[in-house]
């Protein structure tokens, strides 16, 4: 069977401060700011992308930082935790680092034979670091975090649902995922070659309160597809499954389609091409505000609405 869905592409969430967001994801977690652009649907707001050196699919966490946005509430019908993969021997390093920055985290726990720690960013976005031994991705080091301790990219994401059956059906019958394991009320599925970056966890609890969108909550999760041709093929499969994706949207660094899964989480399918180096050199990624060509005539107006961002000498 032809592979149309490779695994995860990116996760996009809301924040309340661009600078605090950068300070956490670059300064604390050591990710690279690979693109500083705008929300194409709300150009007065940044769209910040963090990932590995060039922003490979499966490493990219992105944010819409609406200044002063009220905090949301994690709950059912949301993606509640984004899990990053770290080397198996790096857990102590990360606990010490979080302590150094006065970031509260839950004590190490286990599931599916993995050990992880759970915490939140300054807005309450749910983050996990999962110690894994089979993730061969190189990660990224900005000099403040040793490469052999650095984040590799995504491990999995948690979809929090009141019911799981229809979501599992969509992922397995239409989006090329396979059920890997179930432990209590958590189901794990994988796509493509499997492993870190290609996993989705579904946590189902019939009585949990519905989440409310705001700072600290996830807007959508994107799945990776190779190119525009494979994107159109998966779009056709979605239509045949009575799912109604949008038309293809040009996001400059990838092409996107969007749709709601049965539990209400917003899904996206994003192409791996053309990538983040399409409008700036790899060595300069994230250093300048990049606008799509259709917004360039409005650059002066747009920049007036955006607070300056400083990439500090983090340690």
Which token pair is 87? Answer: 């080397």
Going by pLDDT thresholds of 50, 70 and 90, the confidence category of residue 144 is confident
Task: Name the pLDDT band for 155 (thresholds 50, 70, 90).
Answer: very high
Cβ-contact 79, 158 below 8 angstroms: yes
Query: Which pLDDT tens digit goes with each residue over 245-254?
Result: 999 999 999 9
Q: What pLDDT is stored for residue 62 in this prediction?
A: 98
- pLDDT mean over 154-168: 98
The per-residue b/e assignment along 162-193, b for 16 or more CB within 10 angstroms, e otherwise, is bebeebbebbeebbbbeeeeeeeebbbbbbbe
Mean pLDDT, residues 74-92: 98
pLDDT of residue 312: 86
Strands 266-271 and 114-120, how do they pair? unpaired
Number of C-beta neighbours around residue 284 at 10 A: 9
pTM: 0.97
pLDDT tens-place string over residues 257-278: 999 999 999 999 999 999 999 9
pLDDT digits (tens, 9 = 90+) for 281-300: 999 999 999 999 999 999 99
Question: Tokens standing for 261?
Answer: 């899964």
- The model's confidence at residue 145, banded by pLDDT at 50, 70 and 90, is very high
pLDDT band with cut points at 50, 70 and 90 for residue 231: very high
85-99, 136-150, 158-172, 203-217: which range is least confident on average? 136-150
Q: Answer whether residue 142 shows pLDDT above 90.
A: no
Average pLDDT, the chain: 97
| Mean pLDDT (whole number) for 209-221 | 98
pLDDT score recorded for residue 162 = 97
pLDDT at 1 over 90: no
What are the pLDDT digits (tens) for 43-78?
A: 999 999 999 999 999 999 999 999 999 999 999 999
Does the structure show a pLDDT above 90 at 16? yes
Strands 255-260 and 249-250: antiparallel
Contacts for 38 with CB less than 8 Å, ≥ 6 apart:
44, 45, 46, 47, 289, 291, 295, 302, 306
């Amino acid at each position: 069977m032809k592979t149309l869905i490779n695994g995860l592409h990116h996760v996009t969430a809301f924040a309340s401060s661009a600078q605090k967001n950068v300070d956490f994801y670059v300064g604390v977690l050591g990710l690279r700011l690979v693109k500083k652009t705008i929300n194409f649907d709300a150009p007065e707001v940044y769209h910040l992308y963090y990932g590995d050196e060039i922003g490979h699919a499966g490493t990219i966490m992105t944010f819409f930082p609406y200044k002063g946005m009220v905090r949301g509430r994690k709950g059912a019908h949301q993606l509640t935790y984004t899990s990053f993969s770290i080397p198996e021997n790096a857990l102590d390093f990360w606990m010490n680092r979080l302590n150094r920055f006065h970031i509260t985290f839950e004590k190490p726990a286990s599931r599916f034979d993995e050990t992880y720690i759970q915490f939140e960013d300054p807005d309450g976005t749910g983050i996990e670091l999962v110690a894994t031994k089979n993730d061969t991705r190189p990660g990224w080091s900005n000099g403040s975090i040793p490469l052999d301790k650095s984040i590799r990219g995504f491990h999995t994401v948690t979809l929090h649902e009141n019911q799981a059956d229809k979501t599992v059906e969509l992922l397995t019958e239409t989006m090329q995922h396979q059920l890997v394991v179930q432990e209590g009320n958590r189901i794990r599925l994988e796509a493509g070659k499997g492993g870190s970056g290609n996993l989705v966890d579904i946590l189902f609890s019939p009585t949990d309160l519905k989440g409310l969108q705001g700072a600290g909550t996830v807007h959508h999760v994107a799945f990776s597809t190779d190119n525009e041709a494979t994107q159109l093929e998966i779009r056709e499969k979605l239509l045949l499954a009575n799912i109604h994706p949008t038309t293809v949207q040009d996001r400059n660094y990838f092409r996107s389609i969007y749709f709601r899964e049965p539990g209400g989480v917003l899904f996206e399918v994003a192409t791996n091409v053309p990538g983040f180096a399409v409008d700036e050199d790899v060595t300069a990624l994230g250093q300048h505000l990049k606008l799509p060509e259709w917004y360039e005539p409005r650059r002066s107006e747009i920049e007036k609405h955006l607070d300056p961002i400083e990439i500090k000498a983090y340690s």
